[in-house]
Chains A and B, each alone.
Chain A
Amino acid sequence: MFDLKDLYQELIVDHNRNPRNFRKMQDADRVVEGFNPLCGDHLNLYLKLNQDQIADLSFDGSGCAISVASASLMTDALKGKKVADAESVFNVFHNMITDNKLHDAEEIEHLGKLAALLGVKDYPARVKCATLCWHTLHTALEGKEKTVTTE
C-alpha cells in the first residue's frame, strides 16, 4: 500500500527545511510571481539568462512543504541548463505528475531528484503545489506576464 513517506520523504522534508537557491536575486533579468490561491503558496522566481542558458535561478516566498521543496529541487536541477533543455524537463515532469500512468524505473531515473515529487500524484489537490514553480518558470522563460496563478 502507498505510504505517506512516498510524499513526505526525507528529500522533500529536507528541501523544505533548507530550501536551495532561496534568495532574492538583485540583478535578475526576469522576476515572475507565482500564486496558488488554494494553499496561499506565494513565490517570486528570479531568472538570469546568458543567451540560451539559465545562468542563475532562485526564488523566495512562502508556502507549503510541497511547493517550497518543489521550487528548491527545480532551481537546483535547472541552474546552468540550456533553456530548451529546461523546457523539455518541464514537459517530462509535468506529464509524469499529471498523468495516470505508472512509470518504469528508467523514466523515473531520468527525472533524478525531481522524482521525489511524484508521490503527490496520490493527492490530486496537491499537484498544483508541486507545479506552481514550474508554471512560474515557464512564464519567466517566455518573458510574458508577471503573475501566475494556478487557478
Chain B
Amino acid sequence: MNTNIAQTLSAGQSTFSVDTIRADFPILQQEVHGKQLVYLDNAATTQKPLSVITTLDDYYRHYNSNIHRGVHSLSEKATAAYEASRKKTKDFINAASTKEIIFVRGTTEAINLVAQSYGRSTLKPGDEIIISEMEHHSNIVPWQLLCEQTSAVLRIIPINDDGELIMEEYRKLLNEKTKIVAIVHISNALGTINPVKKIIDMAHAVNAVVLVDGAQAVAHTGVDVQALECDFYVFSGHKLFGPTGTGVLYGKQELLERMPPYQGGGDMIKMVTLKKTLFNDLPYKFEAGTPHIAGVIGLGAAIDYVTKTGLANISAWETALIQYATAESAKINGLRPIGTAKEKISILSFTLDKIHPHDIGTILDHEGIAIRTGHHCAMPVMEHFHVPATARASFAFYNTHAEVDRLLQGLKKCLEIFG
C-alpha cells in the first residue's frame, strides 16, 4: 500500500495538508453503499468547502435582497458582496478591469453569449470559425448554430492519438477568412492542456478573435488573461468549488463595448421609453434580469478558498496524484488509457478490455467510488478513439493516494466479476 506517501507537501510559501483540506469539505465525510465515499468525478463538478456553504446560508439568512436597485441596507449589503465577487474574479484571472467580468449561468451560457452577440453581429457568409476535435459539446453546438444563422463555415483542428492538437493542421486552417477561434484550454475528456498562448498568437496574426473555454482549467492552473491576450475566457463556478448556476465571461473591454446585448431586461438598461432604450454600461449591459446573487457571492468565497490554498500547491498535489494513478493503472490487465498527452492535468480516462464503461461505473459505485462514465459531452473524441464511452476518474486537491488505491482495487474487482 502506498498510503504512507506524504499526506502533506510544501510548495510556494504555504504548507498543504490534505487532511486539513478534507475537513473543510463536509460532503466527503459520508459512506456510500456502506463504504467511505471516494469522489473522483471532479471534472463533472467539484465539491464545495464549508466556507462556500456558509456564505450561501449567511446570504439567505441575513441579507437576501435584490441588487443594484434598493436604497435599503440589505440591498446595499448584497450589492457590495456581489460586486466584491466581481473584483475577486478579476484578480483571480488578472483581468484589466471589473468591467470585463460578466456573470452568467456557466461556461455554456458564456459561449452562447459570445456566439450570438459577437459572432452574429460580425460574421459574414463564408467567414470561418475554427474549433477542435476535442471540444465539449458546449463549444461545438453554439458555433454550429451560428454557422447556420450566418452562413459562416466551421473548421476543425484534428487531434493525434495521444489526444493532442495537431498544431501543423491548425496552422493550415488559419487564413484571412478566419474570424473566430474557439478552443478548450484543458480537455474534460482527455485531460490535455492545450498550448493556448501559441494558439492565440497564431490567430491574432490573421486578426481572428479567440475564445478560450477554461471550464477545466481554472481549478487546476493559474490563468492570466492579460498574459494570454485572449479575447474571451469563459468558465463555470461549479467546477471551481463554487455554486452551480454561476459562471464567468471575461471579454476584452473594447470588444464588449462594441457588442450588442445578448438578452434584454432589467439591470442592463440606463433608461427605457416605449420607443427606445439606452443600454447600461459594462458589465451590466450583459447581465439582464436578477442574477444568481447568492451563487455569485458564493463563487467569491470559492475563489478565496482556492487562493488561500494556493494554485501552486494544488497543482503540485494533483500532479503527484495523476502520476501515481497513471503508473499504477498501467499495471492493470487490459486497461487502455484514452488521452496520453505530454501536458495533462489530473484526469484519467480509460477503457477496460471487454468491460463496458457503464458496468465499471456501477461496480465502482457499489464500492463507494464515484467516477464518470459515458461520452463526457465530447462525442467527437469518442469517435476519434473508436469507443462508445470511457470511464473517467478526475482528481481534485482533496483526493489522496489512498483513494487512488481504492480506485485500483475497484478496477480489480471489475476484472474479477467479468474475469
* A residues lining the B interface (CB < 8 Å): 1, 4, 7-8, 13, 16-17, 38-40, 42, 62-66, 123, 126, 129
18 example contacts (A-B, Cβ-Cβ < 8 A) are as follows A1-B34, A4-B366, A4-B417, A7-B362, A8-B359, A8-B418, A13-B418, A38-B358, A38-B374, A39-B389, A40-B382, A40-B388, A40-B389, A62-B388, A64-B356, A65-B355, A65-B356, A66-B358
Residues of B with C-beta under 8 A to A39: 356, 358, 374, 388-389
Whether B259 sits at the interface, judged by CB under 8 Å, is no
Whether B375 sits at the interface, judged by CB under 8 Å, is yes
Chain B 349-390 near chain A by CB (<8 Å), digits 1 or 0: 000000111110011011000000011000000100000110
Are the CB atoms of A4 and B363 closer together than 8 Å?
A: yes
How many interface residues does chain B have, given as a range? 10 to 19
* B residues lining the A interface (CB < 8 Å): 34, 355-359, 362-363, 365-366, 374-375, 382, 388-389, 417-418
Please measure, in the bound complex, the distance between the C-alpha atom of A66 and the C-alpha atom of B373, giving whole angstroms. 15
Please measure, in the bound complex, the distance between the C-alpha atom of A42 and the C-alpha atom of B375, giving whole angstroms. 14
Are the CB atoms of A64 and B374 closer together than 8 Å?
A: no
Residues of B with C-beta under 8 A to A13: 417-418
Please measure, in the bound complex, the distance between the C-alpha atom of A40 and the C-alpha atom of B359, giving whole angstroms. 12
Please measure, in the bound complex, the distance between the C-alpha atom of A38 and the C-alpha atom of B375, giving whole angstroms. 8
Please measure, in the bound complex, the distance between the C-alpha atom of A4 and the C-alpha atom of B362, giving whole angstroms. 9
Please measure, in the bound complex, the distance between the C-alpha atom of A91 and the C-alpha atom of B363, giving whole angstroms. 28
Nearest CB to that of B354 among chain A residues? A17
CB distance from A141 to the nearest CB of B (A): 27
Are the CB atoms of A123 and B375 closer together than 8 Å?
A: no
Are the CB atoms of A126 and B34 closer together than 8 Å?
A: no
B359 contact from A17, A38, A42, A66, Cβ within 8 A: A66
| Further contacts, 10 of them, CB under 8 A, given A4-B363, A62-B388, A65-B355 | A4-B366, A7-B362, A39-B374, A40-B382, A40-B388, A40-B389, A64-B358, A65-B356, A65-B359, A66-B359
